[in-house]
């Protein structure tokens, strides 16, 4: 699979985040219902997760459902929730075999009871795994995450647990859903759209962005390797000059 791109194992992103987009268009191309596209996307999830685990990527975050996606037709939302539930159950052995720890970010309270139970059951069963952390962004929106963080911080100020002067990047980071994760190094979006769609606004401040025309159900290990290869050719300057980095 990786014969076309030789990846430098010394320079792998620590945290890859993927906006899995294009399921609906993929299904439409075959004259099928959108839900068929979502179901077909599960295979891409499995392949990507296994490929990242093989590369020993530490953190993989998958944008599976946004706060805005609740506004889709009920039929589609219900289909997505049942695909989520079934896949969690089905993929548990793969997670155990690959030593993967499941995590979630987003407003889990919004999820239907059965889906939430299934999710936290798998999180519990994989909590002692020490390999890759796989985070599902479910009912996730960066703005909602920031609003929740601001409220928590205000509460701490109000109750004299925190001084306004002490609010800094670290304090804000420690109130985000991603408090136990490093920032995203590489954000991939499939399907040709070039936007962030309310994903990891804070955490992707210095991420390298990679866009591909490939629709999510067609995304394979080779496409992941292409994205990482592109990442490895870039110089991450973090505001400095190229000379300073030498
Ligand atoms: C991504 O595919 C999956 C979710 C957003 C849940 P879409 O369903 O957005 O597919 P397109 O963008 O309509 O093709
Ligand atoms: C972003 O995709 C959300 C997920 C991939 C889960 P959308 O398809 O919902 O994004 P927009 O609406 O095209 O920006
Ligand atoms: Mg879309």
Per-residue pLDDT tens, the chain, 246 aa: give them: 545 679 999 999 999 999 999 999 999 999 999 999 999 999 999 999 999 999 999 999 999 999 999 999 999 999 999 999 999 999 999 999 999 999 999 999 999 999 999 999 999 999 999 999 999 999 999 999 999 999 999 999 999 999 999 999 999 999 999 999 999 999 999 999 999 999 999 999 999 999 999 999 999 999 999 999 999 999 999 999 999 998
Choose among 94, 83, 90: nearest CA to 37.
83
Q: In this predicted structure, what is the pLDDT of residue 56?
A: 98
- Ligand 1 is surrounded, with C-beta below 6 A, by 20-25, 65, 69, 80, 191, 216
Q: In this predicted structure, what is the pLDDT of residue 221?
A: 98
For 206-210, which contacts have Cβ atoms below 8 Å and span 24 or more sequence positions?
206/236, 206/238, 207/17, 207/183, 208/13, 208/234, 208/236, 210/186
Q: Is any ligand 2 atom within 6 A of the Cβ of residue 17?
A: no
Whose tokens are 């609003």? That residue is 147
Q: In this predicted structure, what is the pLDDT of residue 4?
A: 64
Q: In this predicted structure, what is the pLDDT of residue 80?
A: 98
Task: Specify burial of residue 113 (Cβ count, 10 A radius: 0-12, 13-18, 19+).
Answer: exposed
> Mutate which of 21, 83, 211 to test ligand 1's pocket (most atoms within 8 Å of Cβ)?
21
Full-model pTM: 0.97
Can you list the domains of the chain with their CATH numbers? Answer: 12-141+183-235 (3.40.1180.10)
Choose among 72, 59, 48: nearest CA to 13.
59
> Mutate which of 115, 188, 191, 195 to test ligand 1's pocket (most atoms within 8 Å of Cβ)?
191
Q: In this predicted structure, what is the pLDDT of residue 5?
A: 78
Element (H, E) at 60: strand 59-66
Tally Cβ neighbours within 10 Å of residue 76. Answer: 15
Cα–Cα dist 239/216, whole Å: 33
Q: In this predicted structure, what is the pLDDT of residue 3?
A: 53
Residue from 2, 69, 183, 218 carrying the catalytic annotation? 69
């Amino acid at each position: 699979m990786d014969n076309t791109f030789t990846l430098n194992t010394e320079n792998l992103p620590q945290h890859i985040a993927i906006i899995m987009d294009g399921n609906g268009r993929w299904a439409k191309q075959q004259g099928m219902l959108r839900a068929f596209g979502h179901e077909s996307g599960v295979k891409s999830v499995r392949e990507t997760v296994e490929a990242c685990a093989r590369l020993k990527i530490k953190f993989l975050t998958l944008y599976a459902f946004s706060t805005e996606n609740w506004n889709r037709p009920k039929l589609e939302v219900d289909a997505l929730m049942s695909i989520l539930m079934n896949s969690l159950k089905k993929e548990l052995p793969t997670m155990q075999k690959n030593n993967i720890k499941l995590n979630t970010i987003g407003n889990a309270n919004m999820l239907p009871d059965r889906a939430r139970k299934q999710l936290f059951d798998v999180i519990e069963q994989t909590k002692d795994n020490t390999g890759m952390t796989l985070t599902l962004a479910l009912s996730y929106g960066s703005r909602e995450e920031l609003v929740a963080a601001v409220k928590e911080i205000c509460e701490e100020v109000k109750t004299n647990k925190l001084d306004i002067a002490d609010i800094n990047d670290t304090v804000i980071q420690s109130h985000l859903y991603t408090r136990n994760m490093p920032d995203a190094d590489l954000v991939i979006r499939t399907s040709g759209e070039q936007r962030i769609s309310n994903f990891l606004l804070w955490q992707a401040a210095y991420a390298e962005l990679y866009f591909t025309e490939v629709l999510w159900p067609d995304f394979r290990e080779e496409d992941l390797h292409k994205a990482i290869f592109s990442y490895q050719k870039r110089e991450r300057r973090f505001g400095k000059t190229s000379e300073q980095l030498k």
